[in-house]
Amino acid sequence: MEEKKIILAAMRKAGEPLNAGKVAELTGLDRKVVDKAFAELKKDGSIESPVRCKWQPVEK
């Protein structure tokens, strides 16, 4: 899924935990697309939540 790569790249570039709305704003993707990708990224362990409602990529 190409959206996941775009989202992870935007999150890494921001350098701080972001919420889905901010990710949608930065990437130009629809909020529903971002929410769906976040669900998949959470499930496979690619993102983590250091603060409530904000997410960041997991450094592997």
DSSP 8-state assignment for residue 16: S
Task: Say what the pTM is.
Answer: 0.90
Architecture of domain 2-57: Orthogonal Bundle (1.10)
Angle between helix axes 31-43 and 2-14 (nearest 10 degrees) is 90
11-50 pLDDT tens trace: 999 999 999 999 999 999 999 999 999 999 999 999 999 9
- Helix (H) / strand (E) element for 35: namely helix 31-43
Domain boundaries, the chain: 2-57
